């Protein structure tokens, strides 16, 4: 069956380079707004094209569905970008997508002025901004663009140039997602401006620093911005344990809120060195102690020593990386939450989080329920937490809602 794209103005729209026909019934996710075509859904193509080429996608009957960027060797073969048959995937298209993404953040937070309470935001959030595989974060006058798909390589100069202009940034650094380097053959280095070793910025009125040049511990978790403030509201007069504390932002907020004592655990000494600096830069009069430990093992030791805290924050790294690791990851979540619940004083507060996109809130609640049951404690949910507005979630892509948290009181 011949596959032809819809009639269009050839002067305004250069011909696409490859046509993709799906297997019978595989068009349904596309019609629902999915941004992905997996290789297993493809019946045939009309030739060869390099990564980053435009691809028109058709159902099995030959009806046009959508247009995206093609990667012949990736499991995610097409990243869909538009369902408008007259919309070309060209420089104008990509510059417009960047401008729209940045404009939303400016409406939400205003410009990143040096004296603004917050001048660090997520500017581009992959599928949520119609740019699947791209994430851009602004830290004051620097932007870090993390590339998670090889299809973007031909467009990186245009994307970096538009980000610099739209965000008013001094520098735009490019970094390859390590998973994408292995998974899709993404090239390194990607170019862009030289990355500063660190850049200082403000969040909720506090001063922090992020590393942009790479290394063991870099960047900053902007997605916890609102949650740090909300959890801090429970810290006044309480002993606080922050497990998987990274560079100490939860503790900085808790200290200013009047925590009685602060203890942070993380496996990375470089991250803890940064946490100590953050605590010095944001003085509160509340001392903070940081220990480089294997957190699950240290939690078990605390149980054996009968230690306890009034407020425990659990913010582990992603424990579920694929559907095949879901069961194992949920067991890992349960283990650390069970230990944390045992370590809470009567009336103590647990603020627990998961950044694993494959763990839904229902699974997370069930996991926590079993952890409380096995710990012999009763938990009541006080607040349900998530990601901030600069990490929006498309209604047709619930997998973008990756961050979830629960604040509970233990009886």
pLDDT in tens, 114-164: 889 999 999 999 999 999 999 999 999 999 999 999 999 999 999 999 999
Assess if residue 293 is contained within a domain: yes
- Please, how many CA atoms are within 13 Å of residue 350, restricted to the half-sphere of its CB? 29
Question: Which sign does the torsion angle of CA 158, 162, 168, 174 carry?
Answer: negative
| pLDDT at residue 127, rounded to an integer | 95
Assess if residue 10 is contained within a domain: no
Regarding whether 96 and 64 lie in a shared domain, the answer is no
Higher pLDDT, residue 41 or 189: 41
Over range 26-47, report the average pLDDT.
Answer: 95
For the domain that residue 363 is a member of, what is the CATH number? 3.40.50.150
For the entire predicted model, the pTM comes to: 0.92
Pairing between β-strand 239-243 and β-strand 309-314 as defined by DSSP bridges: parallel
Q: How confident is the model at residue 396 (pLDDT cuts 50, 70, 90)?
A: confident
| pLDDT at residue 8, rounded to an integer | 45
Final residue before a domain boundary, out of 82, 100, 135:
82
- Rounded to whole angstroms, how far apart are CA atoms 289 and 62? 64
366, 326 contact by CB (below 8 A): no
Q: What is the pLDDT of residues 258-316, one digit of tens each?
A: 999 999 999 999 999 999 999 999 999 999 999 999 999 999 999 999 999 999 999 99
146, 136 contact by CB (below 8 A): yes
Q: How confident is the model at residue 113 (pLDDT cuts 50, 70, 90)?
A: confident
Average model confidence (pLDDT) for the chain? Answer: 93
| SS3 assignment, position 136 | strand
Question: From edge to edge, which strands make up the β-sheet containing 142-147?
Answer: 120-125, 134-139, 142-147, 171-176
Q: How confident is the model at residue 369 (pLDDT cuts 50, 70, 90)?
A: very high
Regarding whether 253 and 136 lie in a shared domain, the answer is no
Regarding whether 373 and 270 lie in a shared domain, the answer is yes
Residue range of the domain that includes 402: 221-410
> Which residue, among 173, 171, 201, 175, has the nearest Cα to 188 in the 3D structure?
175
| SS3 assignment, position 117 | coil
Q: How confident is the model at residue 217 (pLDDT cuts 50, 70, 90)?
A: very low
Regarding whether 372 and 250 lie in a shared domain, the answer is yes
Assess if residue 172 is contained within a domain: yes
Regarding whether 296 and 187 lie in a shared domain, the answer is no
| pLDDT at residue 73, rounded to an integer | 93
Burial of 397 (0-12, 13-18, 19+ CB in 10 A): middle
H/E element, 384: strand 379-385
| SS3 assignment, position 265 | strand
Assess if residue 3 is contained within a domain: no
| Catalytic residue IDs | 355
- For residue 294, give both structure tokens: 């294997």
Regarding whether 278 and 151 lie in a shared domain, the answer is no
């Amino acid at each position: 069956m011949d596959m032809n794209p819809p009639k269009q103005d050839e002067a305004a729209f250069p011909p696409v380079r490859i046509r993709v026909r799906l297997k019978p019934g595989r068009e349904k996710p596309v019609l629902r707004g999915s941004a992905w075509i997996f290789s297993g859904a493809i019946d045939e193509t009309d030739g060869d094209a390099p990564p980053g080429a435009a691809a028109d996608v058709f159902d099995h009957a030959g009806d046009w569905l959508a247009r995206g960027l093609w990667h012949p060797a990736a499991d995610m073969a097409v990243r869909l970008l538009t369902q408008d048959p007259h919309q070309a995937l060209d420089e104008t298209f990509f510059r417009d997508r960047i401008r729209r993404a940045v404009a939303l953040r400016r409406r939400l937070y205003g410009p990143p002025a040096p004296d603004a309470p917050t001048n660090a935001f997520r500017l581009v959030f992959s599928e949520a901004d119609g740019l699947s595989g791209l994430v851009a974060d602004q830290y004051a006058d620097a932007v870090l663009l993390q590339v998670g798909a090889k299809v973007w390589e031909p467009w990186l100069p245009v994307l970096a140039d538009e980000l610099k202009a739209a965000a008013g940034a001094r520098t735009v650094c490019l970094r390859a997602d390590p998973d994408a380097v292995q998974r899709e053959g993404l090239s390194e280095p990607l170019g862009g401006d030289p990355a500063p070793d660190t850049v200082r910025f403000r969040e909720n009125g506090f001063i922090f620093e992020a590393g942009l040049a790479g290394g063991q511990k870099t960047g900053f978790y902007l997605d916890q911005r609102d949650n740090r403030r909300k959890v801090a509201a429970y810290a006044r007069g309480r002993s606080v344990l922050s497990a998987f504390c990274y560079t100490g932002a939860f503790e900085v907020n808790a200290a200013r809120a009047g925590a009685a004592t602060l203890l942070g655990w993380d496996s990375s000494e470089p991250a803890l060195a940064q946490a100590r600096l953050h605590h010095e830069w944001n003085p509160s009069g509340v001392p903070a102690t940081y220990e480089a430990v294997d957190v699950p093992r240290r939690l078990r030791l605390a149980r054996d020593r009968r230690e306890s805290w009034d407020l425990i924050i659990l913010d582990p790294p992603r424990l579920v990386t694929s559907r095949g690791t879901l069961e194992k990851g949920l067991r890992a979540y349960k283990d650390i939450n069970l230990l944390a619940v045992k370590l809470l004083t009567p009336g103590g507060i647990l603020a627990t989080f998961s950044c694993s996109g494959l763990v839904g809130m229902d699974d997370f609640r069930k996991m926590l329920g079993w952890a409380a049951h096995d710990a012999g404690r009763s938990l009541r949910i006080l607040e349900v937490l998530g990601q901030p507005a600069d990490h929006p979630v498309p209604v047709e892509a619930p997998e973008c809602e990756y961050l979830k948290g629960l604040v509970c009181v233990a009886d």
